[in-house]
Homo-oligomer: A and B are copies of this chain.
Amino acid sequence: MKHNFGAGPCILPQEVFKQASHGVLNFNNTGLSILEISHRAPEFVAVMDEAISLVKELLNVPEGYSVLFLQGGASLQFAMTAYNLLPEDKKAVFLETGVWAKKAFAEANLIGNAEVIASSKDKNYSYIPKDYTVNADSAYFHCTSNNTIYGTQMHSFPQTPVGKVCDMSSDIFSRVINVADFDLIYAGAQKNIGPAGATVVIVKDEILGKSGRKIPSMLDYQKQIDAVSMYNTPPVFSVYTAMLNLRWLKAKGGVAEIEKENNEKAKALYAEIDRNPLFKGTAAVEDRSKMSVCFVMENPDLEKPFLKFAEEKGCVGIKGHRSVGGFRASLYNALPITSVHALVEAMQEFAEKNV
């Protein structure tokens, strides 16, 4: 039994793996693989429709918003949002909370005019800046809801005089959000949605068609909306498996239910980090992420031995990103609380042996 704390591509429910595996051999008892049917076939159109409907249902997406399944990950969205939403004569403003926020800014700034209005770079992105003002003549405000590398998360979003664009790649579907608070939300699939290779976008229809830019067709939200995410051949397997995973989430009781579990998981792990004298968290307490728990050891010499010890106990994927060091335990939706208990026990056992 492995406890997969990997940051992504990451754990999905075992039953989703089983269903997806079966679909590769025999999709819906058609005698054909999900990989060999046309994306225009009624069977696949139904998959795409259900995937889109499940996003709408699970996130309670209001009228006037469209849901897309695209390709290219969040990194392509960095450019795509600017092409579609940033006019030549306006400026997009960015909250810089880590590497991904920085990259999103850089791409927008390549295409048009963008500015970082607040950053936590001064303390290695260990907190979420709260003291900043968004000018009313900005094109939009961009933020990253969860910062996997630094273990911070926005537990609330600022009131802004312009529309909010949010990269929710690593915490979408992990907690209840109010979609109406945002003009556009995007997320690479490979955390709580499904396999890498798909990207979910939720966009308020009325904001489109106003950037005045020439937009390549594949990067034009309106064209993708008109084509119901099939402007060209979609990543069929990723969409199919995302649909299976969203079905699993719905059967579990939806986002509100999984949020309770996620709260329990985070609470258990942070409690041990705070209690155990060998460990300490790296993020500001009030901004601690419930998805990406980053911690180090008081004695850095013990980090390698602990990593090995934890792996022997089946806890894999906990090595921290090089820019923070130490450990990062990702607690995505599909990770059972028993895996968190296994890690906590490993921390306790290791502490007993190293007093």
Q: Which residues of A contact B (CB under 8 A)?
A: 2, 4, 6-12, 17-18, 20-22, 24-25, 31-33, 35-39, 71-76, 78-79, 103, 106-107, 110-111, 188, 190, 195-198, 214, 216-219, 231-238, 241, 316-317
Q: A197-B71, A235-B197, A237-B196 are in contact. Are A217 and B79 (CB under 8 A)?
A: yes
User: Could you write out 18 A-B pairs with CB less than 8 Å apart?
Assistant: A2-B31, A10-B36, A12-B36, A21-B24, A21-B25, A38-B317, A39-B196, A71-B71, A72-B218, A74-B232, A75-B231, A76-B232, A78-B216, A78-B217, A78-B218, A111-B214, A235-B238, A237-B238
Contact of A195 among B231, B236, B316 (CB under 8 A): B236
Q: Which residues of chain B are near A31, meaning CB under 8 Å?
A: 2
CB distance from A270 to the nearest CB of B (A): 24
Q: Which residues of chain B are near A233, meaning CB under 8 Å?
A: 8-9, 73, 188, 190, 196
A37 to B217, CA, bound (A): 32
B238–A197 touching, CB < 8 Å = yes
A216–B111 touching, CB < 8 Å = yes
CB distance from A109 to the nearest CB of B (A): 10
A111 to B7, CA, bound (A): 37
- In the complex, besides A17-B25, A21-B21, A75-B232, 10 extra interface pairs with C-beta distance below 8 angstroms are A9-B38, A10-B36, A17-B24, A17-B35, A73-B218, A73-B233, A78-B216, A79-B216, A79-B219, A197-B235
A224 to B236, CA, bound (A): 23
B237–A7 touching, CB < 8 Å = no
Contact of A33 among B12, B36, B103 (CB under 8 A): B12
A78 to B107, CA, bound (A): 20
A216–B110 touching, CB < 8 Å = yes
A38–B196 touching, CB < 8 Å = no
Q: Which residues of chain B are near A237, meaning CB under 8 Å?
A: 195-197, 237-238
Closest to A25 in B: B21
Q: Which residues of chain B are near A317, meaning CB under 8 Å?
A: 38
Q: Which residues of chain B are near A18, meaning CB under 8 Å?
A: 25
CB distance from A256 to the nearest CB of B (A): 25
A-B interface, 8 closest residue pairs, ranked by CB to CB distance from nearest: A197-B235, A79-B216, A21-B24, A75-B232, A71-B71, A35-B195, A197-B197, A76-B218
A8–B38 touching, CB < 8 Å = yes
